[in-house]
Amino acid sequence: MGSQRSSTASFASIYLLLLLFTKISAGFFRDDQALDRISALPGQPPVSFEQFSGYVTVNKEHGRALFYWLTEAKVDAAKKPLLLWLNGGPGCSSVAYGASEEIGPFRITRNGSSLYHNKYSWNKEANILFLESPAGVGFSYANTSSDLKTSGDGRTAQDAIVFLIGWFSRFPQYKYRDFYISGESYAGHYVPQLAKKIVECNKASSKPFINLKGVLVGNAVTDNYYDNIGTVSYWWTHAMISDRSYRSILASCNFAAAKTSRRCDHAVDYVMNHEFGDIDQYSIYTPSCAASNSTAAAAALPLRLKNTLIRRRSYGYDPCIENYAEKYYNRPDVQKAMHANTTGIPYKWTACSDTLIKEWQDSQFSMLPTYKELIRAGLRIWVFSGDTDSVVPVTATRFSVGRLRLNVKIPWYPWYAGRQVGGWSEVYEGLTFASVRGAGHEVPLFQPRRALRLFQSFLAGKPLPKS
């Protein structure tokens, strides 16, 4: 009975989205593309590509609007595909991380005064659309304050597809362009969940609703059970915890349970407070920022999900780099140039929202059933993992991928970027896995050349090079 109600609700949702899409195609919404054009950002070096940014309202009743930043391809933008990039958290900004630290065209100087070119920007290969999602992240907002305490997977995916409908209306030249979705960390939920919604809408439409071709996710939260097992295994195999603590965690924690126990929490708290030391858990072999306070960092290790063991800081790879972004995007002249904060948001722009992280309501226990649906839909699916991340480590991803029990097409092999091994890969029927050697949680930040090579292979639909 419950399943039938769910199916009916899903059909109604798809019908309303298609109706909205039809109205958009008929010119129901005003074209604001010209108003969103960025002439130049403060302190920006000269560029050959166009930029746009602004808001798309996703729920008029609640006043929810999502902020985007489009950096078009450097060459032949009209012929290049469109990539949507989502950062995770849940509650962290794609402008702060994806755009400013990873795959975007610019990096921010230490004092937040100017920008400089990213040599390995992914807009060499595609038009990149960064989305701050859900409402409450970065410049995205909700006029209904309670929305910030009731966010979850379901609403995030629904708002994201409504955003895309509105955005494609504003940018009709992209409407039927080859489209890909990528992201990292908790975007391991956002990306496949949004892809599933698009697939469902495409099935209900006479022609492709959105021309989705594939998904690419890195160091992705995938399955609570295997993520937890894989994370504790990584800690032990990389000498981060003692044999005694390893045995204690395995004995104390029921990884299949919806909630953790006090005994489990105590075992994990012990290793974090007494055995990890002052390291960057997102990149265990690189120095941590001298400007950060280890005590404060330890205090900022909340459970990001109520039903997982994994603890995560509210920060990205380098707190110092994150500080540069917070200096830059809080500048009034930058916000004016980006058409951001037009409603006067009553708080500073931050890389992550503590409220969203702490109040997250619904989280899918496992994304593996969703991946199976996307594989059946024929999408190109790549999963990659930086191998020095201890937060969502490569062991967790491999356990999850293994659970899919896919047939191997190309057995495990080293892949190359230049003359160096870039990582290791295995190609399955319906999915490609790749590790990235020497990369932490934000793969394109630590290994930009290798990450760009991986992205090029993904777009080409070809295995990573063996030599």
**d(C-alpha 205, C-alpha 165), whole Å:** 14
Containing H/E element for 236?
helix 224-237
What would you measure as the largest C-alpha separation in the chain, in angstroms?
65
**d(C-alpha 316, C-alpha 76), whole Å:** 32
Query: Tokens 């304050």 belong to which residue?
Result: 145
Contact 390, 238 (CB under 8 A): yes
**d(C-alpha 130, C-alpha 354), whole Å:** 21
How many angstroms from the chain centroid is the CA of residue 204? 27
Instruction: Please list the active-site residues.
Output: 185, 389, 441
The DSSP output letter for 45 is P
**d(C-alpha 217, C-alpha 225), whole Å:** 19
User: Please, what is the end-to-end C-alpha distance for the chain in angstroms?
Assistant: 55
Contact 381, 196 (CB under 8 A): no
Q: Which of 87, 91, 85, 94 is nearest to 302 (CA)?
A: 91
How buried is 258 (Cβ within 10 angstroms: 0-12 exposed, 13-18 middle, 19+ buried)? exposed
Give the helix ranges, DSSP H, for 366-466: 368-376, 394-403, 443-446, 448-460
**d(C-alpha 405, C-alpha 272), whole Å:** 33
The pairing of strands 408-417 and 420-428 is: antiparallel
**d(C-alpha 317, C-alpha 452), whole Å:** 18
